[in-house]
């Protein structure tokens, strides 16, 4: 056989191989696409908020239909609702339709219609009273999305993006899952990421109560909710839903069980192994077990005759009639959606000066709009800032407010002094809730008729020279202070921002003995709590208070606005602080007399 013949045969064989491989690749691609498209298709009919019947078949001409399961009181729904409206406007010209579906049994048709109207939603909101559509698609949470192609097959299910999570806000998403799925469907390509995990509120499924009732709402659960939950879970308060009656507790029972098992609620972050606190909001283990048992049994109601009397709440000032009320001069507008890094802390001057020294025995900060006021601090003097960072030493914070907090009423013999000429500045942390809001908060003061035996002081243990490295998951920052005289410790309060991970207060006594006063192993920026000692502690002269804070600047921190940024001190939430607040008084110090 000649060389030319062998060459031609080799070329022919190679061509055959390449042709086979190309055909095989094309066949596999077609099979993959065929498998993706050969899914079951779906159909349903529901009424919208106007009573009109809407069928999924009405949207078969669209390139894609997005079903998003919503609830009127779910915080993540209300944070994402504006983003969904933007997506409807952006994608509608390209053949995409969003349909919102409310399958929550606790949301009445009137609630659903009002929710849609208040937010001016540009897409239909459908009511799923029997949860048939939620069951059809296996939807478990709000806001869960299911994307159907033009043939009615599911192409994507999961989250909208990764910006928001329970208690977390990255400021800017790192994943745009819904948008990417839509772009791939519109380009007639396979969807690469077909499902993602969803965080949000559980869609309640009502189940009949078990025959054997070890716990009932009337006898066991109603008193428990009154004691631990209703400070926040009632109309006008910061919690997203109320827990004032059986129906509300039953309908939210799945979510209650989830957050209680995870330790997210009630919001209390102190390690029980260290310290005892008068304002402890944690759920005792026996009550926790009782609540979870009731949920597992199907939420039996029990006998109405066992119900406790409804709890009465103070609607006016909790400190009685104030001697002086200081209010914001103008209302602040809270946007519907927070910018990257959250809404910057706002500061309002409530009083420029006092004509003489005054002693305060009770003080209360009252949010004008509890739906958006997360916490407040009233400073005697200016709060810290980038140009005026706090250094360790005595500073004056007159009062703070967090959801569920009680007014500051000092025991007899104790008082806080506002010196003559003092400037009072109110610092407020606002949170967006999906609709534009306004706030006009105020502070009430009750003055003592004479100087007390002891002046309550506030000292900050601070470090403002730190630098948290990029992507550091566990960076430590420490600071300390020493009591020069015998002191009595009253309360402790850690303060960090979005990257705060844990905080610890330790006392090192003159004899080198040490004890942990407070440990917060899972610091939560969303709950800026003070921890009031159940029994004030004697701090002998020479006692050193050490504070150790740890920060998570990694991508695993759902609150982290930018893990690739080195973080230093600053007063904005996307910067950081390391402040340990300590309230105390000196045992033998005589109070300052009025300075007239």
State the CATH number of the domain containing residue 553.
Answer: 2.60.120.230
What backbone torsions phi and psi does residue 440 show, to the nearest 5 degrees? -140, 90
Question: What secondary structure does DSSP assign to 437-468, as a single string?
Answer: EEE--EEEEEE-SS--SEE-EEEEEE----EE
Tell me whether residue 102 is in a domain: yes
* Nearest of 444, 355, 407 to residue 532 by alpha carbon: 407
Enumerate residues 6+ apart whose C-beta is below 8 A from 183. Answer: none
The ranges of the chain with pLDDT < 50 are 3-4, 7-9, 11-38, 595-596
Q: Count Cβ atoms within 10 A of the Cβ of residue 471 and give its class: 0-12 exposed, 13-18 middle, 19 or more buried.
A: middle
pLDDT at 22: 44
Question: Same domain, yes or no, for 388 and 272?
Answer: no
Torsion on CA atoms 425, 431, 436, 437, rounded to nearest 10: -50
Q: What is the pLDDT of residue 590?
A: 64
Q: Do 349 and 297 share a structural domain?
A: no
Give the other-Cβ count within 10 Å of 144's Cβ: 25
Judge if 387 and 507 occupy the same domain.
yes
For residue 116, is it within any domain? yes
Same domain, 522 and 395: yes
Q: Which of 170, 202, 234 is the last residue of a domain?
A: 202
User: Do residues 359 and 300 share a domain?
Assistant: no
Helix (H, G, I), strand (E, B) or coil at 395: coil
Look at residue 210 and tell me if it is in a domain.
Answer: no
Domain boundary among 306, 332, 350: 306
Residue 363 lies in a domain: yes
Contact 368, 440 (CB under 8 A): yes
End-to-end CA distance of the chain: 122
Closest C-alpha among 419, 407, 417, 399 to residue 360: 417
Indicate if 373 and 436 belong to the same structural domain. yes
- Tell me what pLDDT residue 25 has: 45
**Distance between CA atoms of residues 252 and 204, nearest Å:** 7
CB atoms within 10 A of CB 82: 18
Q: Could you tell me if 430 and 334 are in contact, meaning their C-beta atoms sit under 8 angstroms apart?
A: yes
Tell me whether residue 258 is exposed, middle or buried, using C-beta atoms within 10 angstroms of its C-beta: 0 to 12, 13 to 18, 19 or more: middle
How many angstroms separate the CA atoms of 337 and 86, rounded?
A: 12
- Rg of the chain taking only CA atoms, in angstroms: 30
**174 and 301 both lie in a single domain:** no
CATH number for the domain harbouring residue 51:
3.40.30.10
Residues 142 and 198 both lie in one domain: yes
Say yes or no: 358 and 488 in one domain.
yes
**3-class DSSP state for residue 400?**
strand
Domain co-membership, 365 together with 496: yes
Max distance between CA atoms of the chain, in angstroms, equals: 122
Its domain, for residue 142, covers: 45-202
Total domains, the chain: 3
**210-228 CB burial, b ≥16 within 10 A, e <16:** eeebebbbbbbbbbbbbeb
Helix or strand run (H / E) with residue 157: strand 154-158
What CA–CA distance (Å, rounded) separates 85 from 121?
6
Final residue in a domain of this structure, among 141, 171, 202: 202
**Tokens 């001057």 -> residue:** 349
Q: How far apart are CA 76 and CA 119, in angstroms?
A: 14
Give the pair of three-digit tokens for residue 87: 């997506």
Global pTM value: 0.81
| Cα 500 to Cα 522: distance, rounded to the nearest angstrom | 9
What residues form DSSP beta bridges with 202?
A: 141
Q: How many residues make up the chain in this entry?
A: 596
- Tell whether 380 and 286 lie within a shared domain: no
pLDDT for the residue 33: 47
Q: Is 303 exposed, middle or buried (0-12, 13-18, 19+ CB in 10 A)?
A: exposed
């Amino acid at each position: 056989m000649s060389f030319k013949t062998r060459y031609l045969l080799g070329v022919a064989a190679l061509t055959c191989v390449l042709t086979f491989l190309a055909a095989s690749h094309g066949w596999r691609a077609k099979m993959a696409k065929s498998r993706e498209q050969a899914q079951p298709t779906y159909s349903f009919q529901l009424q919208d908020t106007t009573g009109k019947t809407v069928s999924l078949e009405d949207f078969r001409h669209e390139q894609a239909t997005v079903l998003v399961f919503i609830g009127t009181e779910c915080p993540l729904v209300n944070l994402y609702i504006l983003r969904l409206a933007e997506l409807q406007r952006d994608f509608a010209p390209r053949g995409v339709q969003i349909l919102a579906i409310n399958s929550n049994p606790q949301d009445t048709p009137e609630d659903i219609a009002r929710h849609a109207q208040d937010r001016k939603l540009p897409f239909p909101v459908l009511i799923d009273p029997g949860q048939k559509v939620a069951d059809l698609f296996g939807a478990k949470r709000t806001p869960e999305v299911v994307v159907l192609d033009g043939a009615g097959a599911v192409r994507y299910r999961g989250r909208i993006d990764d910006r928001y999570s329970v208690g977390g806000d990255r400021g800017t998403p790192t994943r745009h899952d819904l948008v990417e799925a839509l772009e791939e469907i519109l380009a007639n390509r396979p969807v690469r990421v077909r499902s993602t995990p969803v965080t949000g509120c559980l869609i309640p499924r009502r189940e009949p109560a078990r025959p054997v009732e070890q716990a009932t709402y009337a006898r066991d659960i109603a008193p428990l909710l009154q004691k631990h939950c209703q400070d926040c879970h009632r109309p006008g308060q910061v919690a997203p839903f109320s827990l004032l009656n059986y129906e509300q507790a039953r309908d939210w029972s799945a979510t209650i069980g989830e957050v209680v098992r995870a330790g997210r609620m009630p919001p209390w972050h102190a390690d029980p192994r260290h310290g005892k606190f008068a304002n402890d909001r944690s759920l005792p283990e026996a009550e926790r077990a009782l609540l979870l048992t009731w949920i597992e049994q199907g939420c039996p109601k029990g006998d109405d005759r066992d119900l406790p009397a409804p709890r009465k709440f103070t609607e006016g000032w909790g400190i009685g009639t104030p001697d002086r009320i200081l209010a914001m001069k103008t209302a602040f507008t809270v946007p519907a959606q927070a910018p990257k890094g959250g809404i910057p802390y706002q500061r309002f001057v409530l009083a420029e000066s006092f004509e003489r020294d005054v002693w305060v025995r009770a003080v209360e900060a009252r949010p004008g709009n509890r739906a958006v006021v997360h916490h407040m601090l009233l400073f005697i003097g200016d709060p810290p800032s980038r140009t005026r960072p706090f250094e360790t030493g005595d500073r004056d914070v007159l009062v703070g407010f967090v959801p569920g907090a009680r007014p500051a009423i000092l025991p007899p013999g104790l008082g806080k002094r506002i010196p003559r000429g003092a400037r009072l500045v109110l610092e407020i942390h606002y949170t967006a809730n999906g609709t534009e809001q306004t706030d006009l908060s105020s502070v009430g003061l009750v003055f003592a008729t004479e100087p007390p035996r002891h002046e309550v002081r506030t000292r900050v243990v601070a470090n403002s020279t730190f630098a948290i490295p990029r992507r550091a998951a566990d960076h430590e920052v420490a600071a300390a202070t020493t009591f020069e005289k015998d002191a009595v410790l009253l309360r402790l309060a850690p303060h960090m921002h979005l990257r705060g991970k844990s905080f610890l207060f330790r006392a090192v006594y003159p004899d080198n003995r040490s004890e942990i006063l407070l440990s917060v192993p899972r610091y939560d920026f969303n709950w800026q709590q003070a921890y009031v000692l159940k029994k004030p502690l004697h701090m002998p002269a020479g006692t050193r208070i050490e504070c150790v804070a740890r920060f998570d600047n990694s991508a695993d921190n759902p609150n982290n606005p930018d893990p690739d940024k080195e973080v230093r001190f600053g007063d904005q939430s996307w910067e950081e602080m390391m402040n340990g607040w300590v309230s105390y008084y000196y045992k033998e110090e005589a109070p300052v007399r009025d300075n007239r």
